[in-house]
Structure 1
């Protein structure tokens, strides 16, 4: 795993700029790096700094390479070169050879995987991501002609600290989890567009775009004709290549963890794993949640079916105290650059020595916004804002909703102009969000595990899903086609909450649509039940309300109604729907990020460590300072009386962050057990619904008896 920042300066000061801000760059990391390497071109106009740590897929040194001519190649993520019969991982040195053989712009046509690659030689630099920018790249052009490219916006902010926030993009992050297009949450920082690539020459950034590349492949007509002629052959080839890529991961001998839920994405990954040959002994599966939760029950049945070792990770009540949750929320704001990692519930104290197989990419193969088609880009935008999709808590101001709706309509018109049909607008919108959504999840994977891998991510399969008839996406046909190819009977196993789409019976002959799902009739808390703790009258809730009050003049309130937001938090029921709960957390994340409410939690930072990478001095507006070791609670310090703090990065924060870092919070000290309270309230709500249902049934029976007596009389 690695991150890097590149700078081009025509005056030859690139290396000096990086050196002067080295401590700020280190402070920006969400983990402790094993190695920090600086690279400088011969003419000193280009420089880069890479932070890396070894994983089961790559050693730290495998993620960088300098050739005999001084050309530098840096890698974040993992790249797989697929041949006709096999596939293998490529380190940075092999990627450099690929670039010399065919150039950076055509590189992605020869690779699979999630990757962000930098290659420079002093005269030219090129940056390329995987087709969907699962490892996104960000850039900034300064007024003095300096150009910066990085794998995280925060690294650019460390070099250019005066950049402000883009509050319209922060509003989009709050309602949709991602900004539109190539915007970011920070003014002056742009994202390299999906399918495009970036060049830097003479400190000038050259953006090369390929809009909606998955809809505009050169051989698209040929693939569509092949799909019409022999769809099974096309699917066999593409899914077989996906299994080969997964086998390349297994062949490293790495320990591999498969997160199983009750849905289709993780089951499709399990199916792919069975197509790689004998299931490797290094593969194990797990589910998070209480033992009887449908996700856990279904996950266990899938693991049993394929013969994988299974572990049920049961949430521990001690990890759900208000103080701990609040610190984790502030830490998540820091680690994920203001984006919302929905599933980061507990915050692991360190990095697991295993690869983590993630299934989030499965979202790109389904269209689930609406059951009926759109009439136009304007209709798509109108319906997105009319329902619960973007503002389920009804917090947007009327004028702000109109502004954002028109912005979405304009973006939808761009999709159509770039080759999308109106029926495809929902899928295109979802795919565009992957570069933000998965960027947060990729960072999360980097912290939970040594390396995240997305087995369902395959550019050919994504292209195929759009070239196939629209009902394939409506019916989740891609998932079905992957799962049915497993030698194990995974199609007929029940899912959690929702079974196969009914359209599969008509369009694909799937009889398993009649298998009833496992439902959460007891309203058991899920693995993400920590989120509901926000809505109790607890210290956690009071702290978030305090942040809202302290940020009373925030430009975000130009978009959202502050009093409605307060009310949504204080009046929400314990069984609040997930979509409402996550949108509230997303709004709070945007608010915290733009006003400095974040805590520099460093994963893999041992308590009491004396290394610079793990320590940060937090300086409050009141003048109070605290030394935070990156993992545990901090301690108040006197900067003027300690020479040992020289060189330790200093970050300005609100006083509330100092309280969270040091544990100096009497309200949190009085808090007992939010998790048990959550269970009690959920169970009480479930019992109340059961009694209400019985009462309605009894009333119907009584009414029926009364009508019968009337007719008899």
Structure 2
């Protein structure tokens, strides 16, 4: 993990407040989600002392470009990775950082500093986010929101260890959906840049520029036109992984029975990049069975990572929810729910890793699981994203959610399909995936081709409704690895095939009666312990939310959540209980110590038979 923090004084030539610099150094040792002993620090300050770029890394020497690079009168640090490390010189020299970043292969953000200026830019997905804040004296930009907040607060208060001030209303989407559907953060007056944007502070003044996303072309009207789209995306994907051909270790691919990780397997196979595969689950789960067939067809090793069980074999062993939430909060800074499976930290491992996360970009974003495409249906989807579980919210929190939804509802009037496509990129990738990715970067080397700037640019230029048909992804898989054509996929069949063959009501009824293809996945979804918790786990989750007097444990939670509404959450909304528990833990216990609480794990009875999610 590489962490960068750029600071600029609002009055040119006036040195930065020493307390802000001291607070940044102190906070970095306390809130970065990596072992302090593994971290090395770098720093640059201007001659006048009015700008600075501070950087920290737990990566071994020689992994990637230098933590701080210099050229063209500037220094720069990157988070994420470049497809071609030599591109750092262009990124240092450009006067248009957003345009250059969005047009450069890789998944990264860049932070720059020079005499009298600091700047930062995000890629097309903002999977590597840029956070920013300002006070009466300084501008602060950084790759970790809490570090930005504490540095700005130090400059504002004069304290080298200021208290956290929460943006409670911003947490309403965390309560409803388990991640942020906005450009806000849990920390007051700390925002996050949109995709394909830059923030430049020069002569004490801040300017934010947001580039328009690529325009989609008309849907292909012939097989030749469709093939051209397939070829263009295939070329962008191959370019994204080309540097891996010179790697010393095989790529570790997390392979499931679905579409996206299968495309990655086909890509690595076509690019002749050595790789091994692994699947999490029980031996009889659809993902394990189908992933094994894909690996066998491509002639690559495949392993199964089975969930940890007690010695009896009948119970699943899981961390105590406070331990689980501590890990999620420290890694993801309160921007994703403890419902999600977030890996624990550790020593940095430079082995390249891939998974299918983000592949929905190639299938139309939120359109990929959207049934109807008429204007009303698309607008209902937007309303659902911003109104989901809003019955739990206070009136102020509901009004906040409606205000966030308003511009997207307006965009639905113009082009609903494109709105849902871009909404997915902005929030599901730019907030949910970015938060999840932060947990990976602290100890791993994730290389996601689907989030590569040039791959995303290529995908966005393809009509989103045609991408939704999945003909594009299927075409690339078959082009890369024809032998995968006849291996079934987990869940529903390819959309272009299903919707093309089953257009009438009678056809749909016949399809429901069809038996699964030989060797296909078993029916039904695997059992999910997070949605079916044991009585003990349910009790602990409620106890973390409500005290013995029946009051919300975190007082600030009452500003966004209606206490009466959360008195009883039905089993169908156990995920919301996890979301609320995460917020409650954050407001009461988070970031006080890097060490997780010393609490024993829980045992969850596993119902036979079935897999575990």
For residues 482 and 14 of structure 1, the distance between their equivalents in structure 2, rounded to whole angstroms, comes to: 54
Question: Residue deviations 1:499-548, cap 9 Å, x none?
Answer: 222556739xxxxx99748445586546xx4x247x32216732542443
Matched, 1:40 2:45: yes
Matched, 1:139 2:96: no
Q: Structure 1 residues 409 and 192 mapped into 2: Cα distance closer, same or farther (>3 Å)? A: closer
Q: Give the secondary-structure state (helix, strand or coil) at the position aligned to 2:449.
A: coil
Which structure 2 residues correspond to residues 342-421 of structure 1 after superposition, within 5 A? 343-344=340-341, 347=344, 349-364=346-361, 365-366=363-364, 367-368=367-368, 370-375=370-375, 379-384=380-385, 390-391=388-389, 395-397=391-393, 399=395, 403=399, 406-413=402-409, 415=411, 421=415
Worse-superposed segment, 286-295 or 465-474: 465-474
The equivalent residue for 1:432 is 426
The equivalent residue for 2:232 is 237
The equivalent residue for 1:704 is none
Q: Structure 2: which 5+ residue stretches go unaligned?
A: 154-161, 502-510
Q: Give the secondary-structure state (helix, strand or coil) at the position aligned to 1:49.
A: strand
Question: Residue deviations 1:193-229, cap 9 Å, x none?
Answer: 2121110112322111224x133xxxx66x8789997
Matched, 1:485 2:482: no
Q: Choose the corresponding residue for 1:538, options 532, 536, 551.
A: 536
Q: Structure 1 residues 562 and 260 mapped into 2: Cα distance closer, same or farther (>3 Å)? A: farther
- CA drift at 1:566: 4.4
Q: Choose the corresponding residue for 1:154, options 143, 146, 152.
A: 146
The equivalent residue for 1:214 is 214
Matched, 1:554 2:577: no
1:63–1:76 Cα contact (<8 Å) kept: no
Q: Give the secondary-structure state (helix, strand or coil) at the position aligned to 2:278.
A: strand
Q: Give the secondary-structure state (helix, strand or coil) at the position aligned to 1:170.
A: helix
1:171–1:590 Cα contact (<8 Å) kept: no
Q: Give the secondary-structure state (helix, strand or coil) at the position aligned to 2:109.
A: strand
Aligned length: 573
Which structure 2 residues correspond to residues 522-537 of structure 1 after superposition, within 5 A? 524-525=526-527, 529=529, 531-532=530-531, 535-537=533-535
Q: Give the secondary-structure state (helix, strand or coil) at the position aligned to 1:303.
A: helix
Q: Structure 1: which 5+ residue stretches go unaligned?
A: 81-88, 508-512, 602-629, 632-660, 687-713
2:198–2:208 Cα contact (<8 Å) kept: yes
For residues 558 and 40 of structure 1, the distance between their equivalents in structure 2, rounded to whole angstroms, comes to: 41
1:445–1:451 Cα contact (<8 Å) kept: yes
Matched, 1:79 2:8: no
Which structure 2 residues correspond to residues 282-681 of structure 1 after superposition, within 5 A? 283-317=275-309, 321=317, 324-340=320-336, 343-344=340-341, 347=344, 349-364=346-361, 365-366=363-364, 367-368=367-368, 370-375=370-375, 379-384=380-385, 390-391=388-389, 395-397=391-393, 399=395, 403=399, 406-413=402-409, 415=411, 421-433=415-427, 434-447=429-442, 449-503=443-497, 506=500, 516=517, 518-521=520-523, 524-525=526-527, 529=529, 531-532=530-531, 535-538=533-536, 541-542=539-540, 544-549=542-547, 551-552=552-553, 554-568=555-569, 572=571, 580-597=573-590, 600-601=593-594, 630=595, 661-663=597-599, 674-675=603-604, 677=605, 679-680=606-607
2:64–2:81 Cα contact (<8 Å) kept: no
Q: Give the secondary-structure state (helix, strand or coil) at the position aligned to 1:567.
A: coil
The equivalent residue for 2:254 is 259
1:15–1:44 Cα contact (<8 Å) kept: no
Q: Structure 1 residues 498 and 251 mapped into 2: Cα distance closer, same or farther (>3 Å)? A: same
For residues 401 and 73 of structure 1, the distance between their equivalents in structure 2, rounded to whole angstroms, comes to: 39
1:334–1:599 Cα contact (<8 Å) kept: no
Q: Structure 1 residues 131 and 685 mapped into 2: Cα distance closer, same or farther (>3 Å)? A: closer
Question: Residue deviations 1:36-86, cap 9 Å, x none?
Answer: 111111221111211113269x5276232134x762111111012xxxxxx
Question: Residue deviations 1:163-209, cap 9 Å, x none?
Answer: 52222321112323433342222220111121211101123221112
For residues 583 and 503 of structure 1, the distance between their equivalents in structure 2, rounded to whole angstroms, comes to: 35
Which structure 2 residues correspond to residues 89-108 of structure 1 after superposition, within 5 A? 89-90=84-85, 94-100=87-93, 103-108=96-101
For residues 356 and 465 of structure 1, the distance between their equivalents in structure 2, rounded to whole angstroms, comes to: 22
- CA drift at 1:273: 0.9
- CA drift at 1:129: 1.5
Q: Structure 1 residues 498 and 234 mapped into 2: Cα distance closer, same or farther (>3 Å)? A: closer
2:39–2:57 Cα contact (<8 Å) kept: yes
Q: Structure 1 residues 599 and 243 mapped into 2: Cα distance closer, same or farther (>3 Å)? A: farther
2:233–2:458 Cα contact (<8 Å) kept: no
Q: Structure 1 residues 351 and 518 mapped into 2: Cα distance closer, same or farther (>3 Å)? A: farther
Q: Structure 1 residues 567 and 597 mapped into 2: Cα distance closer, same or farther (>3 Å)? A: farther
- CA drift at 1:97: 4.3
For residues 104 and 385 of structure 1, the distance between their equivalents in structure 2, rounded to whole angstroms, comes to: 32
The equivalent residue for 2:20 is 17
Q: Structure 1 residues 372 and 537 mapped into 2: Cα distance closer, same or farther (>3 Å)? A: same
- CA drift at 1:331: 2.0
Matched, 1:29 2:29: no
Q: Structure 1 residues 43 and 556 mapped into 2: Cα distance closer, same or farther (>3 Å)? A: same
The equivalent residue for 1:605 is none
- CA drift at 1:467: 4.4
For residues 13 and 286 of structure 1, the distance between their equivalents in structure 2, rounded to whole angstroms, comes to: 49
For residues 544 and 340 of structure 2, the distance between their equivalents in structure 1, rounded to whole angstroms, comes to: 24
For residues 349 and 461 of structure 1, the distance between their equivalents in structure 2, rounded to whole angstroms, comes to: 31
Q: Structure 1 residues 74 and 489 mapped into 2: Cα distance closer, same or farther (>3 Å)? A: same
Q: Give the secondary-structure state (helix, strand or coil) at the position aligned to 1:595.
A: helix
For residues 27 and 177 of structure 1, the distance between their equivalents in structure 2, rounded to whole angstroms, comes to: 25
2:81–2:108 Cα contact (<8 Å) kept: yes
The equivalent residue for 1:636 is none
Q: Give the secondary-structure state (helix, strand or coil) at the position aligned to 1:106.
A: helix
> Which of structures 1 and 2 has the bigger CA Rg?
1
Q: Structure 1 residues 71 and 409 mapped into 2: Cα distance closer, same or farther (>3 Å)? A: closer
Q: Give the secondary-structure state (helix, strand or coil) at the position aligned to 2:111.
A: strand
For residues 465 and 543 of structure 1, the distance between their equivalents in structure 2, rounded to whole angstroms, comes to: 41
Worse-superposed segment, 538-547 or 243-252: 538-547
For residues 26 and 397 of structure 2, the distance between their equivalents in structure 1, rounded to whole angstroms, comes to: 41
For residues 328 and 475 of structure 1, the distance between their equivalents in structure 2, rounded to whole angstroms, comes to: 38
